[in-house]
Amino acid sequence: MFSATALVSGAVGSLPAKVFAAALGGKRTADDHPAYRLVHREANDWTSAGELRAQLTADALLHDHGYAFANRVNGKVAEFIRLDPRAVTMKADETTGEPTYEVRDGTTVRRYGYRDILHISAPLGTSPIKAGREAIGLAKVMEEHAASLFANGARPGGAIKSAKVLGDDAKRKIGQGWNLAFGKGGVGGTAVLDEGMTYEAIDAMTSADAEFTATRAEQVVEIARLFRVPPHLLFELSRATWSNAEEMFQAFLTLTLRPWLDAWEWAYARVLLSPEERDDGYYVEFVVDDLLTANAATRAETYAKYRAMGALTANEVRAGLNRPPIDGGDTLDNPNITPGAPTPDNDNRDADEEAA
Q: What is the mean pLDDT of the chain?
A: 80
pLDDT-derived band at 343 (thresholds 50, 70, 90) equals: low
Distance, CA of 337 to CA of 345 (rounded, Å): 14
What is the DSSP code string of 102-127? Answer: EEEETTEEEEEETTSEEEEE-GGG--
Q: What per-residue confidence (pLDDT) applies to 51?
A: 96
Among 114-118, 136-140, 152-156, whose mean pLDDT is lowest? 152-156
Angle made by CA atoms 14, 19, 20, in degrees to the nearest 5 = 125
Q: What per-residue confidence (pLDDT) applies to 206?
A: 54
Widest Cα–Cα separation across the chain: 116
Q: What per-residue confidence (pLDDT) applies to 186?
A: 47
* pLDDT reading at 48 higher than 90: yes
pLDDT (average), residues 184-206: 61
Q: Answer left, alpha or beta for residue 50, where phi above 0 means left and psi between -120 and 50 means alpha.
A: alpha
Residue of higher predicted confidence among 21 and 155: 21
pLDDT-derived band at 27 (thresholds 50, 70, 90) equals: confident
Percent of the chain at pLDDT above 90? Answer: 35
pLDDT-derived band at 290 (thresholds 50, 70, 90) equals: low
Does the reported pTM lie above 0.75? no
Residue of higher predicted confidence among 9 and 251: 9
pLDDT (average), residues 171-187: 66
pLDDT (average), residues 46-63: 95
Q: What per-residue confidence (pLDDT) applies to 187?
A: 53
The pair phi, psi for residue 213, each rounded to 5°, is -65, -40
87-130 tens-digit pLDDT: 999 998 888 889 999 999 888 999 999 999 999 999 888 888 88
What amino acid is encoded at 46 in this protein? W
What is the DSSP code string of 243-310? Answer: S-HHHHHHHIIIIIIHHHHHHHHHHHHHHHS-HHHHHTTEEEEE--HHHH--SHHHHHHHHHHHHHTT
Q: What per-residue confidence (pLDDT) applies to 18?
A: 93
3-state secondary structure of 80: strand
3-state secondary structure of 51: helix
Burial of 213 (0-12, 13-18, 19+ CB in 10 A): middle
Q: What per-residue confidence (pLDDT) applies to 240?
A: 61
The number of beta carbons lying within 10 Å of the beta carbon of residue 60 is 28
* pLDDT reading at 232 higher than 60: yes
Q: What per-residue confidence (pLDDT) applies to 148?
A: 64
Burial of 83 (0-12, 13-18, 19+ CB in 10 A): buried
Percent of the chain at pLDDT above 70? Answer: 74
* pLDDT reading at 182 higher than 70: no
Among 166-175, 200-209, 210-219, 286-295, whose mean pLDDT is lowest? 200-209
Residue of higher predicted confidence among 120 and 322: 120
205-222 tens-digit pLDDT: 555 555 566 667 777 888
pLDDT-derived band at 169 (thresholds 50, 70, 90) equals: confident
* pLDDT reading at 9 higher than 50: yes
Q: What per-residue confidence (pLDDT) applies to 236?
A: 75
pLDDT (average), residues 267-279: 94
Q: Euclidean distance between the first and final Cα of the chain, in Å?
A: 74
The number of beta carbons lying within 10 Å of the beta carbon of residue 74 is 5
Distance of CA 177 to CAs 19, 165, 166, 184, Å?
74, 18, 15, 13
pLDDT (average), residues 274-286: 92
What is the DSSP code string of 165-189? Answer: ---HHHHHHHHHHHHHHHSTT--S-
The number of beta carbons lying within 10 Å of the beta carbon of residue 33 is 19
Most confident listed range (27-36, 150-159, 237-246, 321-330) = 27-36
Most confident listed range (71-75, 165-169, 263-267, 325-329) = 263-267
Q: Find, among 282, 288, 280, the residue nearest to 261 by Cα.
A: 288
pLDDT-derived band at 71 (thresholds 50, 70, 90) equals: very high
In the 8-state DSSP scheme, what is residue 328?
T
